[in-house]
Amino acid sequence: MQEEPTDIDILLSDAGDFIETKATLWKLKTIESLADVSGELVAGLAMIVFASFVVILISIGVALWLGEILGKSYYGFFIVGGFYAIIALIILVRRERWLKDTFSNMLIRKILK
């Protein structure tokens, strides 16, 4: 003969199902967050690559134009290089606030979404 399940057995079975469902839900939410973050990262990297090509081509054009005005082409490249060195120093000094904090906040927002 079979014993009928008691209320405790039913409660434990339901609790086990609940825990299993919660774990599955947590995994799916984690996967969704990671997919969202990685998608944004790939899109951002693609934009950085295209923007880099644009900046490089414009920089070469400006350097050649300045070199033509100043009489020696390498003068233009020195000026453009100095300009980028100044920008790099400014970014180096402000990197904590501009780069790290901004990226960290974006990542946290995406994961907690």
Which pLDDT tens digit goes with each residue over 16-53?
888 999 999 999 888 887 888 888 888 888 999 999 99
Distance CA(86)–CA(92), nearest Å, equals: 10
Look up the pTM and report it: 0.63
Whether 29 contacts 109, CB under 8 Å: no
Q: What is the pLDDT at residue 100? A: 78
Distance CA(34)–CA(111), nearest Å, equals: 7
